[in-house]
Amino acid sequence: MTQLRLLTVHAHPDDEASKGAATVAKYVAEGVEVMIATCTGGERGDVLNPKLKNPENEKQLAEIRKKEMAESIKVLRAKHTWLGFEDSGWPDGEPKPPLPKGCFADISIEEAAKPLIKLIREFKPQVLITYDENGGYPHPDHIRCHEITMFAYENAGRVNKYSDLGFAWQPFKLYYQMSFNSNQMKAIDNAFKELGKTNPYAEWMDESNDDSHRITTQINCAEYFDKRDKALLAHATQVDPDGDWFALPTDVAKRIWPTEDYELAITRVATKTPETDLFAGLR
């Protein structure tokens, strides 16, 4: 294996910046080929930055988000592809309304996984990253992102399946994103107390379960946190530079939690946990 390749699969534009961006920047800098696959265009999202919230931006949001994604990719210097599905939107209310017909989470897992199987067979990654079974949070697109990545991981290497999607390729390892895990959130809470500031993520802590035991792999990438910030700021309609995302100074974040964290969900190579490298056992 002379060339290492990493494929990370996300639900919407901006997810690549808020989940694992420093890891991506680190591996790109080390010469690993990194591909970011975005399942949907985020068409049913909202303008979350109050400074940019106006009827014109809301009307053109789909096109704006494509441009924002391109700027984020320039910062991270990774490769990028759209899988081409339609954002499902957040189903609000009780009971929840039905999903829009034909959206990403409405079509079958098999059909939604086919573009990803094709991508895996063309790009030939040794390592995949996706969300856990809860999607990181229970947005239907995040859960479907998990489902299609698991389906693609299991089927991309089968020579007798989906022959129209290219020659079989089997990735060796699959990881779940473990951003904002419970131990990290406790460290952030303590940091805000030291700074004498209100913790804007306190509600997340109250709602989260203890998932720290699931972490198998920590990537030390603090020197790339600045790139992570720039990638996130590229999504200007989604992120207020004066908002909660940047309430904790980056230099403090580097000191209290210098890693991005993952759970090794499946491996076909021998490796010992805890790991400090997504390619442990493959180099």
The reported pTM is 0.96
Tokens of 45: 């999202």
Confidence (pLDDT) at 1: 59
204-214: average pLDDT: 82
Judged against a pLDDT cut of 90, whether residue 224 lies above it is answered with yes
**HSE-up of residue 103 (Cα within 13 Å, Cβ side):** 21
Confidence (pLDDT) at 92: 85
Q: If you average pLDDT over every residue of the chain, what do you get?
A: 96
42-62: average pLDDT: 96
Q: What is the pLDDT of residues 138-163, one digit of tens each?
A: 899 999 999 999 999 999 999 999 99
Q: What is the pLDDT of residues 161-184, one digit of tens each?
A: 999 999 999 999 999 999 889 999
Q: What share of the chain is helix, strand, coil (3-state, %, to 5)?
A: 40, 15, 45
48-66: average pLDDT: 96
Question: pLDDT over 90 for what percent of the chain?
Answer: 91
- Kindly list the domain boundaries of the chain, sorted by start residue: 5-181+213-267
Closest CA to 27 of 281, 279, 271, 283: 279
Confidence (pLDDT) at 209: 80
Pairing of strands 173-177, 259-267: antiparallel
What topology is assigned to 5-181+213-267 in CATH? Rossmann fold (3.40.50)
Confidence (pLDDT) at 121: 98
Annotate 232-261 with DSSP letters as a single string. HHT-TTT--TTSGGGSS-HHHHHHH--EEE
